[in-house]
Amino acid sequence: MAGLAKGLAVIETFGQSYSQLTVSEAARATGLSRATARRCLLTLTELGFLAHDGKHFRPTPRMVRLGGSYARTDPLPRLAQPILLSARQQLGESVSLAVFEDGAAVFVARAETERIVSAGVRVGIRLPACSSATGRVLLAALPDEELDAYLAGCRPEARTEKSLVDIEEISRRIVEARTQEVAFTDEELELGMRSMATPVKDSRGATRAALSVSAFTARIGLEDMRERFLPVLKEHADRIGRML
């Protein structure tokens, strides 16, 4: 069981900050010794979950099966997918669904536009909750005590020159998301990209997920996003919520 836990720790490292790993990077990211990290990587390669080019280890298509089992069995992604496709059709931009897990916004469903340049978000990716629009919407649903505890341990990293790293400002954005039921990021995670998210609430009014849309800054401004995209996004979030 200890070996399984170490192997899972290595698997979870992929997609958070790394698309490929060396032995040293795997050891540093997981806190394992180099020898242990190497054994885990080689075992995963032998089982077909990773490919090895002599230096780097990369996930193979078989890795998708691990996350695919969640998408096939959890009702939320299955129920939401047709609605995400409808929202994408109306907005002409990529639409995603995320849930809160261990301080991160985890994307569980997505409807991608067909463009040459992708926004880089995919099912299974984890974004820091304090730094993303989806995360701030999900954090806004936490009780005050839990939110305070999260923010006390939050150490945001600047991914771009526009990233918010001031905890007081991040807290203000989260409170704003709680009252307005919408959150925005403007080139905070990636230059040239902005996003907007709104909560998905079940029949009891509890936030179960966040529905978001992302677009290139050259295609739409923040005010246009609020005026044109927000009503559509909220309508589709309500449609998902009514099924929960």
Dump strand ranges (E) for 53-148. 57-59, 94-101, 104-111, 126-128
My answer on whether 92 and 130 are in the same domain is: yes
- 91 domain-assigned: yes
Range of the domain at 153: 74-242
My answer on whether 101 and 191 are in the same domain is: yes
Q: What is the CATH number of the domain that holds 10?
A: 1.10.10.10
pTM: 0.71
- Rounded CA-CA distance 163/187 in Å is 7
- Rounded CA-CA distance 2/160 in Å is 38
Q: Please report the pLDDT score of residue 116 as a whole number.
A: 45
Tens digits of per-residue pLDDT, 35-82?
Answer: 998 999 998 898 888 888 888 998 887 776 666 555 555 678 888 999
- 69 domain-assigned: no
Mean of all residue pLDDT scores within the chain: 87
The low-confidence residues of the chain, meaning pLDDT below 70, are 15-18, 64-74, 115-121
Residue 51's CB is within 10 A of a number of other CB atoms, namely 15
What tokens does 56 get?
């780097």
- How is residue 196 annotated by DSSP? E
Tens digits of per-residue pLDDT, 117-126?
Answer: 455 567 778 8
Residue with tokens 């998902």: 240
- 31 domain-assigned: yes
